[in-house]
Structure 1
């Protein structure tokens, strides 16, 4: 792969410690000209699904880059470290399902390697900080144009760990869908493409509550629920001036129904 000049970082490291800075520092020491975009470091700890969703919905809007993602409750165990090539960039991180959807968003997996070359890692690899000692140095080398094949042996894409498909099923008058994520504003994103709203108009029911079927938040009265197609092309639920997650008491993994109003 030709040099990209860009790396993105998505982690659950938080901002209270020096973990993110250490990853930046490793990258800067190996590839000082490479620029780094911090996607987020506030993925809930060990929430691989949330990290995968954020990554997949963000990478199509970034420059061609090496995307490092670390939400890694299995760090130091037998889980593999991997790097994926796609038509739209590369992905580096643990083989726990975190990277696969993002690879799909970048055009699909064209190659996978397991990160086993010690020359590509830090001088000492901590059992609990592969972000600093494995994934950051690998990404820095890839971003400067080093061949993917030198990072380690190939892995069949079919052997990668994948997250279970989220719930999405038809119900009478509408559909039931799993909550994928809840954003900073309390908006609830469902695992349903926006096309599922076709045929539902005016007032609908969400988890038994009346909601407007609108285009944006202001299509509901103040304090009212609105169901809409969000910026990722998925069905989402918001409260105009409030937080849908609180009103619905619904978090990731729960299943909500969206149906036509009686």
Structure 2
């Protein structure tokens, strides 16, 4: 049975017509397909943030075709790709700049890949600066209505797909050495440690901890500590994070992107 869901993530924002036009192209080609917007608020040109959001959000969406466009090198020699993942038969489509790599990893890796730059499903006379409309949207629509991945482009070795290089957390003695990989508008800090990786870290829920030399508590939610106090917690995606109750952990700790965060029992 052909997928009936197509998800869409981009850095287009919502002030212009870019997202709406892509929706229109999909609706013309595949009116029966339901399009679900993941977000169009990825900071412009921020491939890494787009990749992180895609990885953490897609498990909450039905399996189908997943379109992602954060494409600062649009119109250059960078490839456009479509990838089939090992788990749940999910298909990812977008620019080959690392944007799809973390989600592909989350879903068991890539088992089939095609270069769709010259796909027969793309619009004729594709504009060099709007591949979202002319390349990715029509190809995603075709795949969502049952077109074969193999027929959407030229075969590509999955090992050739561009991968995003991220820092790796590790245990160093009694310290968990993590990194600040993302920040939200509240100043909460996402760390590069997921729930499954906490085993062996020595951290125990409800106990005091030290974070870069600062006192904190490993807690469940923000109100478990007093206003202004620092907490370590698992966020809604079961990823380790830092927050200050009614404040900003990013500002309190002076953290920049990829900054090292050393955590140990107090």
TM-score category (smaller protein):
over 0.9
> Which secondary structure state, in structure 2, belongs to the residue aligned with residue 110 of structure 1?
strand
Pick which of 96-105 and 155-164 moved more.
96-105
Query: What does residue range 205-220 of structure 1 map to in structure 2 within 5 Å?
Result: 205-220=210-225
User: Structure 1 residue 118: deviation in Å?
Assistant: 4.5
The offset of 1:178, in angstroms, is 1.7
Deviation at 1:148, TM superposition (A): 0.8
Please name the residue that 1:222 is paired with: 227
Counterparts of 1:252 and 1:259, CA distance in 2: 21
* 1:37 alignment partner, SS class: strand
For 1:196 and 1:241, how far apart are their aligned partners in 2?
29
Superimposed CA distance per residue, residues 53-78 of structure 1 (whole angstroms, 9 cap, x where no aligned partner): 10011111101121011111111111
Task: Note if 1:252 corresponds to 2:257.
Answer: yes
Query: Which deviates more, 245-254 or 33-42?
Result: 245-254
Q: What is the TM-score of this pair, normalised by structure 2? A: 0.92
Counterpart in 2 of 1:83? Answer: 82
Runs of 4+ displaced beyond 6 Å: none
Q: CA RMSD in A?
A: 1.7
1:179: how far off?
1.3
TM-score w.r.t. the length of structure 1 is 0.93
Match of 1:126 in 2: 127
Q: How far off is 1:40 after superposition?
A: 0.8
Distance 1:183 1:45, change over 3 A: same
Partner of 1:199: 202
Contact map agreement 2:180 2:190 (CA 8 A) in 1: yes
Structure 2 gaps, min length 5: none
